[in-house]
A = this chain, B = another copy of it.
C-alpha cells in the first residue's frame, strides 16, 4: 500500500477540456486506491463527477485562464480560476500536488506566484521526460527561464538529478550539460561557467553532452537554459514529425508498399508509442513547494491519467523536501 496523497486537478485544462480530463481522472482514481483528487472547475463540471466518484471532491471555480492570455497577468487577475485555485490548495496544504493540461505559462506562473519557490531555489524549472526509443531522458529547463545565470543551471542539475533518481528510479543519474562540444572549455560563456559549477558541486555530473547525444542513451539528464532547452525539445518533436510524415509517404506509394505497411504495422505502432509523451503525461515544475505539473495541451485520456499518477508519485517521493535540503545554504 502506498502513501495517501491528494492531488488538485484542473478539470478544464487542455485542448479538449473536461470531456477528456474527467475520464482521465476516473482512470487515475481506479488505478491508484490511495489517491484523492480535488477537482477544480465550473460547478456543472466538477460537482456531478465528484458526486459519482469516491475519493474525489469538487472545488468550484468561477473563472478560466484561456490559452492565449498573458500567463502572469492572468494568474494575478483571475484569482478564482481553476489553475490559481488548484495551486492555492497546494499552498494551503489541502493538496500535495497540482496537475493541469492547460496553459503551460499560466501553470508556471501560478506555481511560482501562488505555491511559491522553495527557499534557496533561484528559479523553478520545467522538466520534460523525453520519449526516446532507447530510454527516457530528462531535459531541464524546457522553457521556464529564457535567460539564465550559471548558478541557475547548477540548481537545475541538482533538482533534475533528484527527480530522475526518486521519480524515474534511476539509481545514479548521469547528468550532462547540453553544450556544443564535449571538451569543458567549449560553448558559450554561460555554458563554460555552468560546466565549472556542475563539475564542482554535482557528484554525478557526467560532462558536456551534444544535440546528437540526447536520444543516444549516453545520459539520463540534460541541463540547459530554458531557451536552448525549449528549442531542443521542439526540434526533436519537429524532426520526428517530419520523418514520420515522410515515412507515411513511402508506405502510401503503391499496392506493394501498402502491403509492407500492413506487415510492419505492429512494430510501427510500438515505435510511435515509445515516442509518445502520453506514457508520462506530466512535466514537473521543479523548485516550488509541492508537486506541480503540466500536461500537454493535446493530452488524451491516457495522458491525463498518467499525468495525475505522475504528480502523485512526485508527491509521494517528497521531491520538494529533497530539493529544499539540497539547495538550502549549508551553513546553520
Chain A interface residues toward B at CB < 8 A: 132-134, 143, 146-147, 178, 180, 186-189, 191, 210-216, 224-228, 230-247, 249-251, 253, 256-257, 259-261, 263-264, 267-268, 270-271, 274-275
Contact = CB atoms under 8 A, between A and B. Distances in A.
A133 B250 CA distance: 11
Contact of A227 (B143, B187, B233, B275): B187
A213 B239 CA distance: 9
A270 B180 CA distance: 30
Contacts of A210: 231, 234, 238
A180 B146 contact: yes
A190 B44 CA distance: 46
Given A191-B227, A261-B264, 10 more contacts: A133-B242, A146-B187, A147-B189, A210-B231, A211-B234, A212-B241, A228-B228, A235-B239, A239-B243, A250-B270
A234 B212 contact: yes
A238 B267 contact: no
A211 B235 contact: yes
A216 B238 contact: yes
A275 B247 CA distance: 12
Contacts of A264: 250-251, 253, 257, 260-261
